[in-house]
Every structure is written in structure tokens, then in C-alpha cells.
């Protein structure tokens, strides 16, 4: 038994049957004809952006010196699950007989190719955040870290 102060759920049938153009017309308070034109423009823009992204990826692959590594770089950069059970860049490198650094190079390059025109692809499934690139670069050139590396080399050289 429902009481007057209890909430009940009723399906908004209008929202279930409204077309995208009708929803835009309602939200922007414009005519249905104008909303259909807005929707067409957005679809044309999305199609053009998709075509440009595909063209950039194809250009990237055609210019790659190691096509299999570049293809895996694109797959990793986009977070594809279709990597046949491969769980890391290291596994890809072993499979292709190359270094993990090469796979990382192509992954970052693919990510950069796909991150243009105000949008950014930053899938972290098989790699670290893009911001960590700056951190690692700073640590690699940090005077303290450089001195520490030199001290280790000197220690290892003296203890041989």
C-alpha cells in the first residue's frame, strides 16, 4: 500500500519516444527544423573528426620503421582489449623480439597522434599517465639523481 508521502517511480514516456532532434529543440527552445540542422552539423563535424583521426593513424603506421610495434602501440594507446591476453608492454616486446622501450615509444607516439584538435586520448590500461613523462624527465636530469647514479657506478667499479 502506498501512502501519499511515499515516492513512486513513473516512466517518462515522452522522453522514451522523443527523437534526438526533438530533445535538442526542447533544450534549446528552437524549432524542430532548426534542431534537425544543428543535429546534422554535429554529425558532420563528428564524421570529419573521425576521418581526420583515422588519416593520422594511417599516416603514423605508414611512416613507422617497425610496423608490428607501431600497430601494437596504437592498440595499447587506445586500450584495446583485443590483444589476445597480452597484459603489458613487456609482453608485447617479448612477442615481437624488441625492447619494451620501443613499444613504449610507439605507444606514446600513437597517443600523441590521436590527441589533436582539442581532444585527448589518455587510456591508461597498459601505460602510465601522460603527466608522469614530465616527472621522469625531471628525475633523469635532476642533479641529485645524477650524483647518486655516478656514486653507484663508482662504488660498483671499485668493488669489482
Rounded CA gap, 127 and 129, in Å?
A: 7
- Domain extent for 19: 14-63
Same domain assignment for residues 69 and 122: yes
Q: Looking at residues 112-132, what average pLDDT do you find?
A: 65
Rounded CA gap, 58 and 74, in Å?
A: 10
Rounded CA gap, 104 and 19, in Å?
A: 44
Angle at 40 (CA atoms; ends 37, 41), nearest 5 degrees: 85
Assigned domain for 148 exists: yes
The pTM of the full predicted model, rounded to 2 decimals, is 0.56
Reported as a pLDDT band with limits 50, 70 and 90, residue 67 is very high
Same domain assignment for residues 56 and 33: yes
Domain count of the fold of the chain: 3
pLDDT tens across 68-107, in order?
Answer: 999 999 998 888 866 777 888 899 999 999 999 999 999 9
Nearest to 107 by CA among 74, 152, 82, 138: 74
Angle at 92 (CA atoms; ends 89, 97), nearest 5 degrees: 125
Same domain assignment for residues 86 and 119: yes
Assigned domain for 108 exists: yes
Amino acid at each position: 500500500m502506498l501512502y501519499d508521502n511515499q515516492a513512486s517511480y513513473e516512466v517518462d514516456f515522452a522522453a522514451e519516444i522523443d527523437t534526438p532532434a526533438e530533445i535538442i529543440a526542447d533544450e534549446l527552445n528552437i524549432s524542430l527544423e532548426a534542431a534537425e540542422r544543428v543535429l546534422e552539423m554535429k554529425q558532420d563535424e563528428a564524421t570529419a573528426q573521425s576521418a581526420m583521426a583515422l588519416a593520422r593513424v594511417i599516416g603514423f603506421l605508414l611512416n613507422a620503421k617497425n610496423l608490428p610495434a607501431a600497430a601494437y602501440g596504437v592498440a595499447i594507446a587506445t586500450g584495446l582489449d583485443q590483444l589476445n591476453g597480452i597484459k603489458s608492454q613487456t609482453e608485447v616486446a617479448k612477442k615481437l623480439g624488441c625492447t619494451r622501450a620501443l613499444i613504449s615509444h610507439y605507444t606514446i607516439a600513437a597517443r600523441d597522434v590521436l590527441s589533436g584538435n582539442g581532444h585527448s586520448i589518455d587510456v591508461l590500461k597498459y601505460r602510465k599517465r601522460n603527466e608522469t613523462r614530465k616527472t621522469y624527465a625531471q628525475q633523469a636530469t635532476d642533479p641529485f639523481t645524477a650524483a647518486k647514479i655516478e656514486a653507484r657506478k663508482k662504488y660498483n667499479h671499485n668493488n669489482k
